[in-house]
Structure 1
Amino acid sequence: MVNRENLVNRPAVLMLRALGLGDFLTGVPAYRALRAAHPEHETVLAAPSALAPLARLCGAIDRLLPTGELAPIEWAGPPPDVGVDLHGNGPASHELVAATGARTLMVYASEAAPHEKGPWWDDDEHEVSRWCRLLEWWDIPADPRDLLLDPPDVPAPAEGAVVVHPGAAGGSRRWPADRYAAVARALTDMGERVVVTGSGRERPLAHEVAERAGLSADAVLAGRTGLAELAALVSRARLVVSNDTGMAHLGFAYARPSVTLYGPVSPALWGPPPGEPQHAVLWHGAGGRPGDAWGAVPDPRLLRITVEEVVDAARRVLPQPT
Structure 2
Amino acid sequence: MPAPTTSPAATPVSRLRQGARLCRETLQVLRYLGLRTLVWAGIRQLQRLLGREGIPCAHADDFDPGLITVAILTKDRLDLIRPCVESLLATWPPAYRLQLLLGDTGSRDPRVWRYYRELQESHGVIHVVKLSRYFYSRNYNRLIRRHARGQYLVLLNNDTIMLPGWLEPLIEALADKSIGVAGAKLLFPDGTIQHGGMVFNRDRDGVHLHRGQPGDHPPADIPALVPAVTFACVALRHDVFRRFLLSEEFREECMDSDFCLRLRQAGFRVLYQPRSQLYHLECATRNPDKGGADRERFRVRWGETLEELLSRDTQVQPFPPAAPRPTYTIIRDDGVGDLLAGVSAFAQLRRAHPEARLVLATYARNIRMMAGFGIFDEFVPIPDGCKYAPLPLPRAQREYNFLDFEMDFHARRGLLPWAVPTPDNQLNRHAFYCRELGLKDGFEPVPLPAYPEERRRVEELLARHNLSPELPLVILTLLASNPGRSWWEPYFPALIRFLEEQGLIPVVTGVKDSPYFRGRRLVNLVNQTATITEYIELVKMGRYVICTDTSAYHIAALAGIPFLAIFTGGIHPAARLSLYDKYEVAAPPESLPCYPCWDEGCRDLALRHRREPCRLAITPQMVIAKFRRLAARFPLEGAAASGGGSGGAYPPALLPDFPPLCCCPLPPLKKFYRLQVIRW
Mark yes or no: TM-score above 0.5.
Answer: yes
Matched, 1:82 2:394: no
Gap change, CA 1:88 and 1:292, over 3 Å in 2: closer
For 2:479 and 2:364, the matched residues in 1 are separated by 22
Matched, 1:56 2:363: no
Q: What's 2:637 paired with?
A: 321
Gap change, CA 1:250 and 1:224, over 3 Å in 2: same
Q: What's 1:265 paired with?
A: 571
Matched, 1:177 2:486: no
For 2:521 and 2:341, the matched residues in 1 are separated by 33
User: Is residue 164–residue 184 contact of structure 1 (8 Å, CA) maintained in 2?
Assistant: no
Gap change, CA 1:272 and 1:251, over 3 Å in 2: farther
User: Is residue 12–residue 42 contact of structure 1 (8 Å, CA) maintained in 2?
Assistant: yes
User: Is residue 249–residue 272 contact of structure 1 (8 Å, CA) maintained in 2?
Assistant: no
Structure 1 residue matching 2:400: 3-state secondary structure: strand
Matched, 1:42 2:357: yes
Map 1:122-137 to 2 at 5 A: 122=424, 124-135=426-437
User: Is residue 488–residue 615 contact of structure 2 (8 Å, CA) maintained in 1?
Assistant: no
Structure 1 residue matching 2:361: 3-state secondary structure: strand
Structure 1 residue matching 2:574: 3-state secondary structure: helix
1:12 maps to a residue whose letter is T
For 1:59 and 1:121, the matched residues in 2 are separated by 31
Structure 2 residue matching 1:151: 3-state secondary structure: coil
Structure 1 unpaired stretches of 5+: 94-119
User: Is residue 17–residue 47 contact of structure 1 (8 Å, CA) maintained in 2?
Assistant: yes
User: Is residue 170–residue 294 contact of structure 1 (8 Å, CA) maintained in 2?
Assistant: no
Q: Deviations over 1:27-75 (max 9, x none)?
A: 2122112211221122111110011221123331222211156413422
For 1:11 and 1:210, the matched residues in 2 are separated by 51
Please report how far the alpha carbon of residue 281 of structure 1 lies from its aligned counterpart in structure 2 after TM superposition: 0.8
Please report how far the alpha carbon of residue 291 of structure 1 lies from its aligned counterpart in structure 2 after TM superposition: 4.8
Please report how far the alpha carbon of residue 189 of structure 1 lies from its aligned counterpart in structure 2 after TM superposition: 1.6
Please report how far the alpha carbon of residue 21 of structure 1 lies from its aligned counterpart in structure 2 after TM superposition: 1.7
Q: What's 2:616 paired with?
A: 303
Structure 2 residue matching 1:66: 3-state secondary structure: strand
Matched, 1:193 2:514: no
Q: What's 1:108 paired with?
A: none
Pick aligned residue for 1:72 from 366, 384, 389: 389
For 1:181 and 1:272, the matched residues in 2 are separated by 30
User: Is residue 169–residue 245 contact of structure 1 (8 Å, CA) maintained in 2?
Assistant: no
TM-score, structure 2 as length reference: 0.38
Matched, 1:13 2:319: no
Q: Relative to structure 2, which stretch is displaced further, 289-298 or 52-61?
A: 289-298
Gap change, CA 1:145 and 1:131, over 3 Å in 2: same
User: Is residue 251–residue 257 contact of structure 1 (8 Å, CA) maintained in 2?
Assistant: yes
Please report how far the alpha carbon of residue 257 of structure 1 lies from its aligned counterpart in structure 2 after TM superposition: 0.7
Structure 2 residue matching 1:209: 3-state secondary structure: coil
Q: What's 2:340 paired with?
A: 25
Gap change, CA 1:148 and 1:36, over 3 Å in 2: same
Quick one: percent identity of the two aligned structures? 22
Gap change, CA 1:186 and 1:223, over 3 Å in 2: same
Structure 2 residue matching 1:210: 3-state secondary structure: coil
Q: What's 1:281 paired with?
A: 585
Gap change, CA 1:85 and 1:51, over 3 Å in 2: same
Please report how far the alpha carbon of residue 122 of structure 1 lies from its aligned counterpart in structure 2 after TM superposition: 4.6
Q: Relative to structure 2, which stretch is displaced further, 182-191 or 285-294?
A: 285-294
For 1:291 and 1:10, the matched residues in 2 are separated by 39
Structure 1 residue matching 2:516: 3-state secondary structure: helix
For 2:509 and 2:590, the matched residues in 1 are separated by 30
Q: What's 2:448 paired with?
A: 149
For 2:337 and 2:612, the matched residues in 1 are separated by 19
Q: What's 1:242 paired with?
A: 547
Gap change, CA 1:289 and 1:196, over 3 Å in 2: closer
Gap change, CA 1:15 and 1:194, over 3 Å in 2: same
1:210 maps to a residue whose letter is F
Matched, 1:209 2:521: no
Gap change, CA 1:62 and 1:182, over 3 Å in 2: farther
Q: Pairwise CA RMSD of aligned residues?
A: 3.1
Structure 2 residue matching 1:281: 3-state secondary structure: strand
For 2:448 and 2:329, the matched residues in 1 are separated by 21
Matched, 1:166 2:478: yes
Please report how far the alpha carbon of residue 131 of structure 1 lies from its aligned counterpart in structure 2 after TM superposition: 1.3
Q: Deviations over 1:60-94 (max 9, x none)?
A: 122221115641342255x112212334449x99x
Please report how far the alpha carbon of residue 290 of structure 1 lies from its aligned counterpart in structure 2 after TM superposition: 2.1
For 1:237 and 1:8, the matched residues in 2 are separated by 48
For 1:320 and 1:165, the matched residues in 2 are separated by 20
Pick aligned residue for 1:221 from 501, 509, 525: 525
Higher-Rg structure is 2
Please report how far the alpha carbon of residue 123 of structure 1 lies from its aligned counterpart in structure 2 after TM superposition: 5.1
Structure 2 unpaired stretches of 5+: 1-266, 268-321, 410-421, 463-468, 603-607, 639-680
Q: What's 2:557 paired with?
A: 252
TM-score, structure 1 as length reference: 0.75
Q: Relative to structure 2, which stretch is displaced further, 13-22 or 244-253?
A: 244-253
Q: Deviations over 1:242-284 (max 9, x none)?
A: 114322222222121111111221112223524x1x2001112
Q: Relative to structure 2, which stretch is displaced further, 219-228 or 143-152?
A: 143-152
User: Is residue 272–residue 279 contact of structure 1 (8 Å, CA) maintained in 2?
Assistant: no
User: Is residue 327–residue 357 contact of structure 2 (8 Å, CA) maintained in 1?
Assistant: yes
